[in-house]
Amino acid sequence: MIRSFPPIINSETEILIVGTMPSVKSLEAQQYYAHPRNAFWKIIAALYHQGAEFADFQEKKACLLANRLGLWDSLQLCLREGSLDSAITDEQPNDFNTLLAEHPAVRRLLFNGQPAFKFFKKYHAPLLLRTEYYILPSTSPANASYSLDDKIRIWAPYLK
């Protein structure tokens, strides 16, 4: 079984970005979105860090929190060969009921790709009735149908 990371969130978080499960590279690095070709941190840098690269993961987390953004995954545990979400089996969800109850400032969920939404909906459908949410194109390098510029343009209005 592989295990997701703890959430990046604080009492001021208003927008929670929801992924599926960290990739092999992310698990090795013990950091969200650690694959160098994943567009997630490039999008955040373009919108909140003057396009500059982040020095380290601590700076990335600080940037999210300073801009009232949070991060977590739909799943807490699963079996998976490789990094593709389509290979996930025997999944167990993260506890979003408790997380959202403890962080009432969260007003919007942004799903990083369809699989993140699919797993969230499977286990937490009632939360979708009372929380604004959007399903955005995955930032994964496997989602090559969108360029980085396209992803930045599409994600930008939802992150503000």
pLDDT tens for 89-99 read 899 999 999 99
What pTM, to 2 d.p., does this model score?
0.95
Mean pLDDT of the chain: 95
What domains lie within the chain, and their CATH numbers?
2-159 (3.40.470.10)
* Res 43: pLDDT: 97
* Res 26: pLDDT: 95
Average pLDDT for residues 15-33, to the nearest whole number?
A: 96
CA distances from 46 to 33, 49, 153 (A): 16, 6, 10
Average pLDDT for residues 15-34, to the nearest whole number?
A: 96
Summary count for the chain: helices (H), strands (E) = 6, 7
Query: Residue 65 pLDDT > 80, yes or no?
Result: yes
Positions annotated as catalytic residues are 38
Q: Classify 51 as helix, strand or coil.
A: coil
Nearest-10 crossing angle of helices 40-48, 148-159: 60
Predicted confidence band of residue 142 (pLDDT cuts 50, 70, 90): confident
Average pLDDT for residues 21-32, to the nearest whole number?
A: 94
Q: Supply φ then ψ for residue 54, to 5 degrees.
A: -80, 145
Please give, one letter per residue, the 3-state secondary structure of 69-137: EEEEECEEEEECCCCCHHHCEEEEECCHHHHHHHCCCCCEEEEECHHHHHHHHHHHHHHHCCCEEEEEC
Place of tokens 């703890």: 6
Query: Residue 85 pLDDT > 80, yes or no?
Result: no
Query: Residue 83 pLDDT > 80, yes or no?
Result: no
Predicted confidence band of residue 87 (pLDDT cuts 50, 70, 90): confident
Q: Which residues lie closer than 8 Å to 153 by C-beta, 6 or more apart?
A: none
Q: Which residues lie closer than 8 Å to 72 by C-beta, 6 or more apart?
A: 4, 7, 8, 9, 16, 17, 18, 19, 94, 96, 99
Average pLDDT for residues 10-18, to the nearest whole number?
A: 99
Hey, what are 125's tokens? 């459908």
Q: Which residues lie closer than 8 Å to 101 by C-beta, 6 or more apart?
A: none
Place of tokens 């955005």: 136
